[in-house]
Structure 1
Amino acid sequence: VDRASPEGSFGDTGVSGTVAAFPGHTMVILAVLMITLVVVVVVGNALVILAFVVDKSLRNQSNYFFLNLAISDFLVGAFCIPVYMPYILTGRWMLGRGLCKLWLVMDYLLCTASVFNIVLISYDRFLSVTRAVRYRAQQGMTRLAVGKMLAVWVLAFLLYGPAIIFWEQVAGESIVPSLSLSPAQLWRD
């Protein structure tokens, strides 16, 4: 914590030139809130997935899209948020280049897939209202729903995935350190 600054807020640079962590009580509160968020997201979406698996009456075309949304949101809560928590709390990425790249790909993929799933659900609801007869005739066609679900994941990956994966080759360098450096040290170099 920066001794010159009584607040000790995130982003203050201390004597060593590294970004200071939050004060102890603030870090504890943030950690508890983030852990609570992870538990709520994981458990809530796991219940949606479990309901879909257990109750066969839920398996219609529109509910497949809700399942797809629950899967993407579950993975955000189970992987993306927990991996990002140490960085938020300490101001340092301490998990290495490989996990950084994996986290970036997964975070962008899952968040984009989540948004695309919401768009797909909205479009599905639109069709159910504007073309009700044709829509009800297609409710048993799960192959069509699975194809749309796969398209969501492929398009979400193609939007950011290749750029993240191949950025180092295109740029000729990586700004992510192999060791743990603070963002302040990254910007200075």
Structure 2
Amino acid sequence: MIFYPRNASLVHLDNISVSAVSASNQSQEITDEMRLIQAVLMSCVICVTGTGNALVILGFLVNKNLRTPSNYFLLNLAIGDFLTGTVSLPLFLQNYIISGGWVLGKHVCKLLLTMDSTLCQCTIYNIVLISFDRFLAVTKAVKYQDQQKNIKLAFMKMAAVWIVAFLNFGPAIILWEYFVGYSVVPDGECYPEFYYTTNYLLYSSIFDFFTPMTAIAYFNLSIYFNIRSRMKNKTCISSVSASNLKKDDNVFVDSTINSNHVGGMKEKSTKHPSNKIEDFQIKAAYTTPVTVLSRE
């Protein structure tokens, strides 16, 4: 998530000398310069993210040929990234980089944290879903073709991505202080109540990072090894076919030579006078009945 306590690494000192104050002012000037650089870079990221994903969404609305189950997963990813670039990042830019703190209150903070965490998780799980879809297309083509005809199944998978993404952090962001009984987030700050709870962060990181990373690695490695195995089999089949083709060519040449030899012998035999007489007798045998019928 992009939200964090601004003063997490601050150290408060007493009895500051004049030189320390001047150094502090100098560091403050550097901080202002860094804020300007961050604002420019973040604005560029917002423009690129919003424009790119808006074009993807527009392509789905205009071109009906793109509306296949596999492409719907890409649409789901584009929607999540578009909302991240047009909602979460601008608010972060306004309240933390430009204003220097959170000014919209606790309820809006929880709403934005929930939405931001859900969108980030949705991006990760959509990548897992796309990798799984490619895995089925390569390793289980028959099953994949059947699923391509079921649009409802694709929408169910897309909805499951959003639900799981929300359940990972959403309930904890909204209800944590009510279960604990107190709030640790001061005014002017916006970060989750469980930010300093190591056990929960470790638990969430398993579902947030390690499990999706393992799944993506498994699907892509399976695709790689499957294609590699097919290429090896194709090479072996090609070599065997080439050797068989050479054998067939040799057999064909031998048979051609033999047929030419036999044909030469036939030509010699047809040139003999006795053979001509036999051919004449055969023709006469077939033509005589026709002649008799014509005379009658």
Identify the TM-score tier after normalising by the shorter chain. 0.7 to 0.9
User: Shift of the alpha carbon at 1:7?
Assistant: 4.9
The alignment of Structure 1 onto Structure 2 pairs a total of residues equal to 170
Deviates further, 135-144 or 154-163: 135-144
Where does structure 2 lack aligned partners over 5 or more consecutive residues?
1-20, 192-296
Measured in 2, the distance between the counterparts of 1:51 and 1:169 equals: 44
Where does structure 1 lack aligned partners over 5 or more consecutive residues?
10-19, 184-189
Q: Output aligned runs, 1:53-132, within 5 Å.
A: 53-85=61-93, 86-132=95-141
Which protein shows a greater Rg?
Answer: 2
User: Shift of the alpha carbon at 1:137?
Assistant: 2.6
**Structural RMSD (CA):** 2.2
* Greater relative CO, 1 or 2 (CA 8 Å, sep 6+): 1
- Which structure carries more helix by proportion? 2
User: Shift of the alpha carbon at 1:28?
Assistant: 2.0
Match of residue 41 from structure 1: 49
Distance 1:7 1:136, change over 3 A: farther
Measured in 2, the distance between the counterparts of 1:7 and 1:94 equals: 26
Percent identical pairs in the alignment equals 51
Residue deviations 1:58-97 (CA, integer Å, cap 9, x gap): 0111101000000111111111111111214554222211
Match of residue 169 from structure 1: 178
User: Shift of the alpha carbon at 1:35?
Assistant: 0.8
Q: TM-score, normalised by structure 2?
A: 0.54
CA contact (8 A) 1:109 1:161 kept: yes
Match of residue 3 from structure 1: 22
Match of residue 149 from structure 1: 158
Distance 1:181 1:152, change over 3 A: closer
User: Shift of the alpha carbon at 1:113?
Assistant: 0.7
Runs of 4 or more consecutive aligned structure 1 residues displaced over 6 Å after TM superposition: none
